Amino acid sequence: MLIDLTDVLSCDDKVVTKTACVELPSFDSNLGSFPLKEREPFTLTLTNLGDDKLLIEGRVRLAALIPCDRCLDEVKTFLELVIDKEVDMKQSAEGRIEDLDETDFVIGYNLDVDKLIYSEILVNWPMKTLCKEDCKGICRKCGTNLNHGSCDCDTVELDPRMAVIAEIFKNCN
């Protein structure tokens, strides 16, 4: 979704509120593609600070489906994004490209809501995702999700030094 900024930029101190929506179907990064859910419309407040500076504020709550780090089950993870960005409209387009990370969501006099949301998700992405604190994970031998059932694999992991001793005893018998 693009929001035309010419109205708010027409005079200093002007404040415009817009109802925006997140159209981005998923958050795609080098970690993978994560579907986004609960994309409710939200309010963006645009304030002309004068001197060609624009303040963009808003709050968005989204859910991302992220696999659990241990068992890979999808976990609906809520992300609370607080948008508070100041954009210098005087900066030339070339200048903005050099600073891509900050203002690539403003193209000419348009605000690209999805790009803005993407940059906010990036900084708010959870370091760790677990379906529950005591997730048992999956069996490394057969792949059974140990939260839902058990398997018959021998998962007792011997200390490598113990394994040597066990081997000696086996040879004695």
Give the footprint of Zn ion on this chain (CB under 5 A): 68, 70-71, 131, 135, 139, 141-142, 144, 151, 153
Cβ atoms of 126 and 65 within 8 Å: the answer is no
Nearer Cβ to Zn ion (62/135) = 135
> For Zn ion, which is the closer residue by CB, 68 or 111?
68
Nearer to Zn ion, 91 or 144 (CB): 144
Distance CA 126, CA 77 (A): 9
Distance CA(15)–CA(43), nearest Å, equals: 13
Least Å from the CB of residue 147 to Zn ion: 6
CB of 64 to Zn ion, least distance (A): 16
Measured from the CB atom, the residue of 140 and 161 that comes closer to Zn ion is: 140
Smallest gap from residue 169 Cβ to Zn ion (A): 26
Q: In this structure, what token pair is assigned to residue 112? A: 């690209």
DSSP state of 127: S
- The least distance separating Zn ion from the CB of residue 139, rounded to whole angstroms, comes to 3
Cα separations (Å) of 37 from 24, 51, 67?
10, 38, 14
